[in-house]
Amino acid sequence: MTRAPGGEPVLAVRDLRVTYRTGAGPVRAVKGVSLVLPPGRVLGLVGESGSGKSTVALAVMAALESEAEVTGEVRFRGENLIGKPERELRRLWGRRLAMVFQDPTSTLNPVLTVGDQLVEVLVEHEGRGPAEARARMLELFAAVQLPNPAEIARRYPHQLSGGQQQRVSIATALACKPALLVLDEPTTGLDVTTEARILDLVDSLRQRTAAGILYITHNLGVIARLADEVAVMYAGEIAEQGPVGAVFARPRHPYTVALLDCLPRIDRPPATRLLPAIEGTLPDPRAEVCACQFAPRCALAQERCRGEHPGWFETAPGQGARCFYWERVPPPGTVRAPALAKPRGRASTRPVPLLEVVDLVHHYRQAGGLTAMLGRAPIVRAVDRVSLGVVPAETLAVVGESGSGKTTIARCVTGVLQPTAGEIKVDGRPVPRRPAARPRKLRRRLQIVFQNPDLTLNPRRTILEAVARPLRLFGLVDRRTRRSAAARLLEAVGLEPRYLDLFPAQLSGGQRQRVAIARAFACRPDLVVCDEPTSALDVSVQATVLNLLASLQAREHTSYLFISHDLSVVRHIANRVVVLYLGRICEAGPTEEVFAPPWHPYTEVLLSAVPSLSATSVTGTIRLEGPAPNPAVLPSGCPFHPRCPRKLGPICEREMPPLVTTDRGHAIACHIPRADLLRLQTAAPVPVS
């Protein structure tokens, strides 16, 4: 734990413990955390859900509910905040101590203009008059690079994009020049290009202000990009802490190594192996701590780890880990997970597509009811003439940001939505648009795994009922055999039969997603549409689910239409990739072709936006400017031209560029010739190897 030359730390947390009193006994959320944050530095607090990182954030703000029992010290410039009455805290909150939350949509008040929500802070703390406060508000909005601050200030939160909302929140937090800024997952849920620009903003802030920044996230790439120091949390404790470069290069806690290893990497060629997943689950937070908490999931665990709680070991100057055997911890990248059974590329030798989408169009009116009847609602062109094909046993990834139409394509394929025009073929034969008109056999062959298993598993049905339902529906089992059949399906996704009689709420998020996958695979489908199947999951769980999908594919020769916004996951799992922007394909081809230059300028922007782990890669070279895309107002010509960093000229505004395909199956829709793109993109430093 270093102390910067800056002097007195803004924040010093010592042996912080937070216990929630619940009906089921005390839940220990934070179990002895110590942190030091000097002014002008960024401390990254990283952990998965349940690690206690958000509880630490709230404890630092002294904002925990009264049900929480807090002990230890949270010293803000030497002053202990724990036990301070709210009346005194109110003088610090928003003025000296400010916080930016995850999901700006829900942290801005929907019924007040965003300008007023900032002005009230200035009025409260600095006693400014309305005119003076307004002038300062406009300054602050300009400082966070909101376009046209006066116009933005009059708007309500729902009239802003997610990125703009988060800029407003950041401006509000900065209003009174706080000494400590707590950022709790400020970019989670934002599109990757928006995230990149918010991270740029935080980066520039850290150079401009003297505030200490506590940055909480689950994303190791963000930490690598922004933080000076990192603290890795596991089960309410700090597993490891130290300077970011040192910790990521040579972690000394097995959990840190496992976290780094289980990440699909955008800067590495597609895996020929499974991801080294972290098996097992977090320990019960109600249990007394009397052993290493990571031991049950640790490959290096010894007898001692299971019987004694490890203390804090100084592994290098300014770096420490909570592990008895930190000297034996191998560097990241040395764990060899089992090889992927499936021979990759095999798919391309089979020319007959299982699924074909031909010139798919889906338009709808933005508003229903009376407005639509009066013909006033704008038409949204969610998907505009998209064609793609999936051959047996391959994974086709459809990539894009919100509003790109990727989910609409998935829904048209599964029949949830009816296309406005175009055709969907299976085995070369057109299928009816409405699911009810599709033959039973066809419905069996097309299944879906949704993003959020919490919303798609009926909370009042047991796992047995959920998994056996499709079996019964398609007449594959009868009452006597359904239990054993369901048990076999659970086994295939790595769950024991005892889960059959549990309800979804009794399972963890990863286990629920496995149940959802078991349900999709119950009737041996030929194609499974995976709609962001891992984006609601922690990275360690994501690895397990991706491995599961890969091994099921190897065994069953299932094809995946894999919808995702995460380029790292896509690079890991997909054979071919389609990149969508505003409902149109801008680039498509085999994964390796798409991830290597030349790129469509939009793909280039996407790739450079991903916060990457590797220290050598150069990110932040290209950023997306201009207004957020709105599918209701399609630009003329190339839909990407208003934001394109490599726009050629008037032709981009006039003509939609054709999708030009090379003999290697790589297609780009851009007016810039391939050779020029390649030259432009290899001249500049690029984020991928």
Partner 1 sequence: MRVFVFVGRRLLLLALVMAIVSVLIFGIVQILPGDVAVMILGTSATPADLASLRQKLGLDRPAALRYADWVGDAIRGEWGTSLLYQVPVRPLVLERLGKSAVLALVALAVAVPLAIALGVLSTLRRNHFLDQAVGLVTLVAVSVPEFITGTVLILVLGLQFGLLPPSSLIDPRASLWSIAPSLVLPTLTLVLALLAHMTRMTRASMLDVLEKPYIRAARLKGLRPRVVILRHALRNALLPTVGIVAINVGFLIGGIVVVETVFAYPGLGRLMVDAVNHRDVPVIQMAALVIALTYALANLAADVVYAYLDPRIRY
Residues at the interface with partner 1 (CB under 8 A): 61, 63, 89-95, 98-99, 101, 103, 106-112, 120-121, 124-125, 156, 158, 169, 172, 370-371, 374
Amino acid symbol at 258: A
> CB of residue 176 vs partner 1: minimum separation in angstroms?
9
> CB of residue 110 vs partner 1: minimum separation in angstroms?
6
Kindly tell me which of 204 and 371 has the beta carbon lying closer to partner 1.
Answer: 371
Which of left, alpha, beta for 9 (phi over 0: left; psi -120 to 50: alpha)?
A: beta
C-alpha distances in Å from residue 430, one per residue of 39, 410, 425, 474, 531: 64, 16, 4, 22, 23
* DSSP line for 636-669: SSSTTGGG-TT--SHHHHH-PPPEEE-TTS-EEE
For helices 463-473 and 509-521, angle between their N-to-C axes, nearest 10 degrees: 10
Kindly tell me which of 20 and 255 has the beta carbon lying closer to partner 1.
Answer: 20
Q: Encode burial over 582-594: b for 16+ CB neighbours within 10 A, e otherwise.
A: bbbbbbbbbbbbb
**Phi, psi angles (nearest 5°) of residue 196:** -60, -40
> CB of residue 344 vs partner 1: minimum separation in angstroms?
44
Helix (H) or strand (E) holding 529: strand 527-531
Q: Which of 288, 61, 267, 330 is nearest to 184 (CA)?
A: 61
Q: Which of 281, 188, 276, 182 is nearest to 234 (CA)?
A: 281
Kindly tell me which of 144 and 552 has the beta carbon lying closer to partner 1.
Answer: 144
Check the CA dihedral 357-360-364-366 and report its sign.
Answer: positive
- Residue 667 · residue 660 · CB < 8 Å: yes
SS (H, E, C) 293-352: CCHHHCCCCCHHHHHCCCCCEEEECCEEECCCCHHHCCCCCCCCCCECCCCCCHHHHCCC
> CB of residue 144 vs partner 1: minimum separation in angstroms?
16
Count of residues making up the chain: 689
> CB of residue 217 vs partner 1: minimum separation in angstroms?
18
> CB of residue 198 vs partner 1: minimum separation in angstroms?
17
Kindly tell me which of 144 and 545 has the beta carbon lying closer to partner 1.
Answer: 144
Kindly tell me which of 65 and 303 has the beta carbon lying closer to partner 1.
Answer: 65
Kindly tell me which of 372 and 684 has the beta carbon lying closer to partner 1.
Answer: 372
Dihedral Cα 333, 248, 259, 101, nearest 10 deg: -150
Query: Scanning the structure block, which residue is given the tokens 């800024």?
Result: 181
> CB of residue 166 vs partner 1: minimum separation in angstroms?
12
Kindly tell me which of 103 and 556 has the beta carbon lying closer to partner 1.
Answer: 103
Kindly tell me which of 58 and 295 has the beta carbon lying closer to partner 1.
Answer: 58
> CB of residue 157 vs partner 1: minimum separation in angstroms?
9
Dihedral Cα 601, 605, 606, 612, nearest 10 deg: 140
Kindly tell me which of 103 and 267 has the beta carbon lying closer to partner 1.
Answer: 103
> CB of residue 369 vs partner 1: minimum separation in angstroms?
8
- Residue 500 tokens, joined: 């059959």
> CB of residue 3 vs partner 1: minimum separation in angstroms?
27
> CB of residue 22 vs partner 1: minimum separation in angstroms?
17
Kindly tell me which of 73 and 116 has the beta carbon lying closer to partner 1.
Answer: 116
First to last CA, the chain: 34
Query: Scanning the structure block, which residue is given the tokens 């807090």?
Result: 70
Kindly tell me which of 98 and 223 has the beta carbon lying closer to partner 1.
Answer: 98
